[in-house]
C-alpha cells in the first residue's frame, strides 16, 4: 500500500487552527463571478474580454458610482450603453500624463464605489498606493491589463474570455478573503 | 416706497457691491464718491425694496445685508426710509426720524446721488444762512412757508424742501451690471508681497465677492483666471502671471473654489517661480454658467457633504487636466461610431431612444489606424493575428472631406487568439477602428 501525501491549502490549514477571519465587508454580486467582489478590493482583469466583463458588472450594479480613468479615452460610452450600463453615474477622466495623480485623487475622494483604469505600466509603489486607498475608501478598483502583472498587490487576478457567447472566467490568483 | 441706503467706505466700488444685491431688487441707484468736497463725499447704494415685501421683511433684509457685507469685509451703515435722500441722510446722521435730521442734510436732499457738484456751494451757503437764523433741524426748516424758500435761498433749496415733503421724486434708471466681472486688489507699493501667503489673505474675500456678484445676476463662475501683476517685466517680457481655474460643476462653495485656486496657484508657482514682487492681484471671470438653485437637504447631511466633495474633485481635475479632462458622456444616435457620443461637463437627461444601431466595440480608437491584412493575417501592436472569420459587414458613409471619408465597409474580425477587431475598408485600404474587448 503506497503512501498518500495530503497537501492541504493554506486556507484549509488556517481553517483547521481557527485563524480564518470572517469577511464582513459588503459584496457586490456579479453573474460572471458568483463569489462577487468585496468592497475595497483590487481586481486585475486580463484576457480578451476584460472590458466587456467590467461592463457586465457595471450593468448589474447600476446604483454604484463609477470613475472610468484612462490615459487617453478609448472606451466607447455608446457601446457601454448598448451593454446596458447606466452612464449617468459614470465620470470619465482623461488623465494623460497625470494618470496616477488622477487615480490618487479619485480613490482618495471616496466619491466612487468603482474605479476602472487601464494598466499603463504603473510602478509597484503606485499600485500599492491604489490598493491602500481603495481599501480605505471601500471601493472596487479594477485594473484592466493585457497581460497579468507580476505584482503581488492585486487581491484578485482574473483572466476572462468569451468564445461563442460562452464566458470563461479563470482566477489566476487570489489574495486575502477574496 | 421703501428705500434701503447702504453707506459704504469711500473707496469702495459701489457698482460691484450693488451687483450683489441685484438678486434682491432690480431697482438700484448709486452714489459714487469723488465728485463732492470731503465731508460730504460719500459712496452709497440705494435699493428700492417696497415691491419685495412678500419675499422678506425690512428687518430680515437689513440683517441679511449686514451679514453679506461682513462676508466680504465691508463695514457699512444701513438706513431705511421712504425716499433716497432721507435714507442717505439717516445713514449719515444717526437719528430716529426725518425731522430730527440736522439742516446740513439739505445737501443730500438737493443732490442725493452726488451728480451736481456745481450746486454744492449754493447749498452750503444756504445751510450756513439757515444756521445763522437758528434753524438747526429739518423740523425748524419746514416751518418756513414754501413761498419764501425760493426768493430767500434759491431754487435748489426749494427742490430740497419739496423732496423733504415728498413732492419731488428721483427717477429710477435701469441698473446694468458690468459685462466683465472682475475684482482687483492693489498692494501697498512700499511692501509688495514676494510670496503667495499674503495674496491668499486678499484672495478669499475677493472670491467671495465675485461669487456673490455672479449669484446676484443668477450666474455662477465656470472659468476664471487669477492675474498676478509683477513689479517689473520678467525675462520673458511677461509682467502679468495668469493662472486659469475651471469650476466644472455647480453648487461649489467659495471655500472649495478657494481651495482649488490655492492648490493650482501653489503648483503653478512651484513649477514657474515668481521673479519679482507682486503689485496687484485680479480675478477675472472668463466663463459663466446659470446658477441652479437647489433645496438644501437638512436631513441627509452626508449626502450634502458627498456632493460637495464630488464637485470639489471634478473641479480640481478639470483645473489640472483642462476643460474636457473630466466629463460625462452624452449619447447621440448616429451611425458613425465617432459621432454617437460627446463630452458634457454636467450630467444631463439622456435623450437617446432605443438603439437600432448594430453592436459597437467597447474600445474605439481616436483615429482609425491604417493596418495591413494579407492572407487573413493582420498585424496590430507588432503582434500577428490570424483571422478566422469576417462577419457583420456594415456599410457606412462618412464625410468625403475627411481622411477616411466616403464609403466605409466595416467587418468584425474574429482571430485565433480570441481577440475581435472592428476594421473597415476604405479606398482599398484597411483601417482598425475598434476592438471588441
In the CATH hierarchy, which top-level class contains the domain A28-174? alpha beta
Domain for residue B146, yes or no?
A: yes
Domain for residue B330, yes or no?
A: no
What cell numbers appear for A21 in the block?
477571519
Nearest CA in chain B to A145: B437
B396 lies within 8 A of chain A by CB:
no
CA gap B364, A92 in Å, rounded: 15
The tally of domains found in chain B comes to 3
Single out the residue of A33, A84, A91 nearest to residue A60, CA to CA. Answer: A84
Is the distance from CB of B373 to CB of B387 less than 8 angstroms? yes
Domain for residue B331, yes or no?
A: no
CA gap A20, A17 in Å, rounded: 8
Domain for residue B57, yes or no?
A: yes
Q: In terms of C-beta density within 10 A (0-12 exposed, 13-18 middle, 19 or more buried), how is residue A85 classed?
A: buried
Question: B411 lies in which domain range?
Answer: 363-436
Which of the listed residues B321, B340, B355 is the one where a domain comes to its end? B321
Please, what is the angle between helix B155-164 and helix B84-92, to 10°?
90
* Same-domain pairing of B100 and B200: no
Is the distance from CB of B222 to CB of B247 less than 8 angstroms? yes
In A, which residues are within 8 Å of B365 by CB distance? Answer: 74
Among A74, A75, A91, select the one facing B314 at the smallest CB separation. Answer: A91
Nearest CA in chain A to B320: A98
Question: Do A93 and B317 count as a contact with CB atoms less than 8 A apart?
Answer: yes
Is the distance from CB of A41 to CB of A141 less than 8 angstroms? yes
Secondary structure class of B111 (helix, strand, coil): coil
pLDDT tens sequence for chain B (437 residues): 889 999 998 888 889 999 999 988 889 999 888 777 777 788 899 999 888 878 888 889 899 999 999 988 888 899 998 888 899 999 988 888 888 889 888 888 888 888 888 888 888 888 888 888 888 888 888 888 888 888 888 888 898 888 888 887 888 888 898 888 899 988 888 888 888 888 999 898 899 999 899 988 888 888 899 998 888 876 665 778 888 888 877 666 888 889 889 988 888 888 888 888 889 999 999 988 887 766 666 676 666 667 778 888 888 888 888 878 899 999 888 888 888 888 988 776 666 566 678 889 999 998 888 888 888 898 888 888 999 989 888 898 877 777 666 788 999 998 888 888 999 988 778 889 999 98
pLDDT tens digits for range A67-106: 999 999 999 999 999 999 999 889 999 998 999 999 999 9
Question: Do B326 and A79 count as a contact with CB atoms less than 8 A apart?
Answer: no
* Same-domain pairing of B197 and B65: no
In A, which residues are within 8 Å of B321 by CB distance? Answer: 93-96, 98, 102
Secondary structure class of B67 (helix, strand, coil): helix
Domain for residue B404, yes or no?
A: yes
In B, which residues are within 8 Å of A97 by CB distance? Answer: none
* Same-domain pairing of B55 and B150: yes
Q: Is pLDDT at A14 greater than 80 in this prediction?
A: no
Nearest CA in chain A to B340: A78
Domain for residue B24, yes or no?
A: yes
- Supply the ipTM of this predicted assembly: 0.86
In A, which residues are within 8 Å of B419 by CB distance? Answer: 48
pTM: 0.73
Amino acid at each position: 500500500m503506497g503512501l498518500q501525501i495530503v497537501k492541504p491549502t493554506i486556507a484549509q490549514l488556517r481553517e483547521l487552527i481557527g485563524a480564518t477571519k470572517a469577511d464582513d465587508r459588503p459584496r457586490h454580486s456579479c453573474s460572471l463571478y458568483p463569489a462577487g467582489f468585496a468592497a475595497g478590493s483590487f481586481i486585475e482583469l486580463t484576457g480578451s474580454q476584460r472590458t466587456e466583463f467590467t461592463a457586465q458588472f457595471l450593468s448589474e450594479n447600476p446604483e454604484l458610482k463609477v470613475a472610468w480613468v484612462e490615459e487617453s479615452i478609448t472606451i466607447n460610452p455608446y457601446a457601454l450603453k448598448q451593454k446596458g450600463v447606466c452612464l449617468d453615474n459614470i465620470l470619465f477622466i482623461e488623465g494623460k500624463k497625470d494618470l496616477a495623480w488622477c487615480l490618487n485623487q479619485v480613490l482618495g475622494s471616496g466619491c466612487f464605489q468603482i474605479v476602472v483604469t487601464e494598466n499603463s505600466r504603473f510602478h509597484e509603489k503606485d499600485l500599492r498606493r491604489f490598493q491602500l486607498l481603495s481599501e480605505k475608501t471601500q471601493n472596487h478598483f479594477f485594473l484592466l491589463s493585457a497581460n497579468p502583472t507580476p505584482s503581488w498587490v492585486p487581491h484578485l487576478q482574473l483572466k476572462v474570455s468569451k468564445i461563442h457567447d460562452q464566458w470563461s472566467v479563470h482566477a489566476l490568483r487570489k489574495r486575502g478573503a477574496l | 416706497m421703501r428705500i434701503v441706503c447702504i453707506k459704504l467706505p469711500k473707496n469702495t466700488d459701489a457698482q460691484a457691491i450693488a451687483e450683489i444685491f441685484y438678486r434682491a431688487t432690480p431697482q438700484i441707484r448709486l452714489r459714487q464718491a469723488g465728485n463732492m468736497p470731503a465731508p460730504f463725499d460719500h459712496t452709497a447704494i440705494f435699493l428700492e425694496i417696497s415691491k419685495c415685501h412678500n419675499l422678506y421683511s425690512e428687518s430680515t433684509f437689513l440683517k441679511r445685508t449686514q451679514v453679506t457685507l461682513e462676508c466680504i469685509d465691508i463695514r457699512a451703515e444701513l438706513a431705511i426710509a421712504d425716499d433716497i435722500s432721507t435714507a442717505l441722510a439717516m445713514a449719515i446722521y444717526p437719528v430716529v426720524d426725518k425731522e430730527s435730521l440736522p439742516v446740513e442734510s439739505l445737501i443730500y436732499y438737493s443732490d442725493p446721488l452726488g451728480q451736481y457738484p456745481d450746486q454744492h456751494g449754493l447749498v452750503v451757503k444756504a445751510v450756513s444762512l439757515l444756521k445763522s437764523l437758528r434753524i438747526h433741524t429739518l423740523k425748524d426748516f419746514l416751518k418756513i412757508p414754501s413761498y419764501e424758500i425760493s426768493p430767500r435761498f434759491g431754487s435748489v433749496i426749494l427742490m430740497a424742501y419739496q423732496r423733504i415733503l415728498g413732492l419731488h421724486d428721483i427717477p429710477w434708471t435701469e441698473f446694468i451690471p458690468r459685462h466683465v466681472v472682475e475684482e482687483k486688489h492693489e498692494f501697498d507699493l512700499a511692501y509688495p508681497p514676494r510670496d503667495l501667503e499674503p495674496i491668499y489673505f486678499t484672495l478669499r474675500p475677493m472670491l467671495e465677492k465675485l461669487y456673490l456678484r455672479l449669484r446676484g445676476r443668477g450666474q455662477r463662475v465656470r472659468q476664471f483666471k487669477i492675474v498676478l501683476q509683477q513689479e517689473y517685466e520678467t525675462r520673458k517680457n511677461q509682467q502679468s502671471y495668469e493662472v486659469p481655474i475651471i469650476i466644472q460643476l455647480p453648487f461649489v462653495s467659495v471655500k472649495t473654489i478657494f481651495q482649488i485656486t490655492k492648490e493650482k496657484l501653489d503648483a503653478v508657482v512651484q513649477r514657474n517661480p515668481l521673479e519679482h514682487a507682486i503689485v496687484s492681484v485680479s480675478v477675472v471671470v472668463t466663463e459663466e454658467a446659470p446658477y441652479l438653485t437647489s433645496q438644501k437637504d437638512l436631513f441627509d447631511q452626508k449626502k450634502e457633504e458627498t456632493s460637495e466633495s464630488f464637485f470639489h474633485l471634478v473641479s480640481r481635475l478639470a483645473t489640472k487636466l483642462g476643460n474636457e479632462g473630466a466629463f460625462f458622456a452624452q449619447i447621440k444616435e448616429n451611425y458613425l461610431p465617432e459621432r454617437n457620443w460627446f463630452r458634457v461637463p454636467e450630467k444631463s437627461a439622456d435623450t437617446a431612444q432605443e438603439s437600432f444601431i448594430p453592436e459597437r466595440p467597447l474600445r474605439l480608437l481616436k483615429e482609425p489606424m491604417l493596418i495591413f491584412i494579407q492572407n487573413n493575417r493582420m498585424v496590430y501592436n507588432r503582434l500577428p493575428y490570424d483571422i478566422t472569420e469576417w462577419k457583420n459587414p456594415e456599410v457606412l458613409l462618412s464625410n468625403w472631406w475627411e481622411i477616411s471619408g466616403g464609403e466605409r465597409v466595416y467587418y468584425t474580425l474574429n482571430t485565433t487568439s480570441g481577440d475581435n477587431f472592428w476594421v473597415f475598408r476604405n479606398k482599398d485600404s484597411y483601417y482598425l477602428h475598434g476592438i471588441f474587448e
